[in-house]
Structure 1
Amino acid sequence: MRPSLDEIASALGRPEILSAVIIDTGQNNLVFDTGDLIIRIPRYDGACLDLERETKVLAALAGRLPLPIPSVNVITLVSGTVAMHRKLPGTPLLDLAGMDDTRRQQLADTLAGFLRVLHTLPLDTLGEPDAAVDPQAEWHELLADVDEKVLPLLPIDIAAAIRGRFEQFLVGDGHPRARAIIHGDFGAGNILVEDGQVSGVIDFAGCAIGDPAYDLASLSAGLGDDLLALMRPSLPGIDAMQDRIRFYRSTFPLLDVLFGLKHDDDGVLKAGLEALRRG
């Protein structure tokens, strides 16, 4: 059971919510736009907890970052949890079409500046313990899930290649990996632009302590490696992260398959499997 727009409008005394337009049917939430307010309704129980945590994360980051971020309020209704925030200006940056070289460089510099600040915040900023005593633990767990649930669905050669990439990543290069506060889903759809300028960053549900290369993997997956090349002068260290960036990108379809299996989402499942077969 999920809250309806009728219930939300009645609870808040805001009849204009009834005219909200759905703008996203993502994996975790249904997202509605009222014109000045963004409403997110969790699609499953775990997403409710994610929204509550994200609210605390955004409060901890408020005033610390060089670009606008949402200020989210979570309310609990009889039928479930709802998150709301004032709509930030702009629309999601989905590609770089129509941008000349100057505009692309400006975009790269702005995004690099945002990540540089985020990735250098003190690790205790979020008010959460860095529970990852073994930073590799989550990747061992992911590999176990992939072994059990994903690889049996794939041709033997593709499954072997995926496992090989995991094993190489887990062995590492003998050097400890950087630990930083990361956005966790720094993809094209979560970067807003207005009049050619970055106007905000949204969706901090995945914000946590992790490898900065993960944010760059998300960014390049949506907007391409050429953008990362433009960021090099403003964000030193990208070249040293290239192997990790490629590995993290290779895991995104695996996560889609696991999500599709867990939540019986056939569309996400098929898309993930097709991406893995394409390589």
Structure 2
Amino acid sequence: MEEVEVVVAHSERATLRVGDTFLKIDTDQTRIDVEVEAMTLAPIPTPKILWRNPPVLALAALPGTALGHLGRPTNASPAAWTAAGAAVRKLHEAPLPPWPGSTRDEIAARLDGECEWLITNEVLPTDLITRNRKIAETVLRPWTPTFIHGDLQLSHVFVDGDEITGIIDWSEASQGDPLYDLAILTLGHPEHLADVISGYGTAVDLDLIRAWWSMRSLLAIRWLAEHGFDPSAPGCEIDVLKAARPDGRIRA
């Protein structure tokens, strides 16, 4: 008899694995609608949809293993990271999905709220928040929107050797800043940024990617803490903030 593995579970959604089938349980059907349509539109490998019976979406497991996990060393080869960059470029060159993403004003408002919460609740030193907020605000400039994954954590990218076998978890896909995807993919693993950019195949503003690292971390800490995750674990969001220098670079 196959066992049921709880992959992730919190108050918003849960994902279970039974053999080679993943069952995503989500009462927000709009979010699932986005995920299904995004996987259909994406020009890169995604999980096969087996069936859908709200609130459950059944997906086939991808071959291979995750590129890595935030806060842990990765065993993936530099070539695998380069292949991930190439896959992201292919996605960004695809036609835009029909739904918009967050505007700069919406992101700025979220940044205001999260920084206020972090300071009020004394989660982090005020100077650390202020320094990273200044870095993060540089992403709030005009960008040409592309088809972005929107939550391209390295654990959502699956590889077999040096090849990408697929990308999972498309519920945040939208039109957005392409540098955001590159930043989330390399969050906590700056040593592989050059590999990813090599695969991406075009020059990018590295300071803006570093700024998105600060932005993502500031915006995520409260949600992670409230949903049973630990942003203070080694190598995770709080360490990312601590590593950022005032000029937006990363401390060795």
TM category, shorter: 0.7 to 0.9
Q: What amino acid maps onto 1:55 in structure 2? A: V
Distance 1:41 1:113, change over 3 A: same
Task: Say if 1:182 and 1:207, in contact at 8 Å, map to a contact too.
Answer: yes
Change (3 A) 1:227 1:91: same
TM-score calculated relative to the size of structure 2: 0.78
TM (normalized to structure 1)? Answer: 0.71
Question: Is the 1:257–1:273 contact (alpha carbons within 8 Å) kept by the matching residues of 2?
Answer: yes
Give the C-alpha shift of residue 114 in structure 1: 1.1
Shift in alpha-carbon separation, 1:71–1:269, aligned structure 2, 3 A: same
2:94 aligns with 121
User: Paired residue for 1:41?
Assistant: 25
Deviation at 1:49, TM superposition (A): 3.2
**Distance in 2 separating the partners of 1:231 and 1:273:** 20
Where does residue 24 of structure 1 map in the other structure? Answer: 8
Of structures 1 and 2, the one with the larger relative CO (CA 8 A, separation 6+) is 2
1:257 matched to which residue of 2?
A: 221
For residues 27-56 of structure 1, give each alpha carbon's deviation from its aligned partner in whole angstroms, at most 9, with x where no partner exists: 8532211112111123xx54x432232112
Change (3 A) 1:146 1:86: same
1:191 to 154, 157, 179: 157
CA RMSD of aligned residues (A): 3.0
Give 3-state SS (helix, strand or coil) of 2:164's partner: strand
Q: Check 1:274–1:140 CA distance in 2 against 1; reply closer, same or farther (3 A cut).
A: closer
Q: Which runs of 5+ in 1 are unaligned?
A: 1-15
Distance across 2 between alignment mates of 1:276 and 1:229: 18
Matched, 1:212 2:151: no
Q: Which secondary structure state, in structure 1, belongs to the residue aligned with residue 205 of structure 2? A: helix
Q: Relative to structure 1, is the Cα distance of residues 23 and 117 closer, same or farther in structure 2, using a 3 angstrom cutoff?
A: same
SS in 2 for 1:94: coil
More helix by share: 1
Q: Is the Cα contact below 8 Å between 2:147 and 2:174 reproduced in 1? A: yes
**Aligned with 2:98: secondary structure?**
coil
Please tell me whether Structure 1 or Structure 2 has the larger radius of gyration of its CA atoms: 1
Taking a change above 3 Å as real, the CA distance of residues 70 and 212 of structure 1, as seen in their structure-2 partners, is: farther
Q: 2:148·2:173 contact (CA, 8 Å) conserved in 1? A: yes
Where does residue 9 of structure 1 map in the other structure?
A: none
Contact 1:93 1:189 (8 Å CA) reproduced: yes
| Alignment match of 2:64 (pick from 82, 90, 114) | 90
**5+ long unaligned stretches in structure 2:** 244-252
| Contact in 2 for aligned 1:52/1:74 (Cα 8 Å) | no
Identity among equivalent positions (%) equals 22
Match of 2:113 among 128, 133, 145: 145
Counterpart amino acid of residue 41 in structure 1: I
Change (3 A) 1:27 1:60: farther
Three-state SS of the structure 1 residue aligned to 2:166 is strand
Of the candidates 35, 44, 49, which is equivalent to residue 54 of structure 1? 35
Give, in whole Å, the separation in 1 of the partners of 2:108 and 2:151: 20
Quick one: distance in 1 between partners of 2:34 and 2:153? 20
| 1:275, distance to aligned residue in structure 2 (A) | 3.8
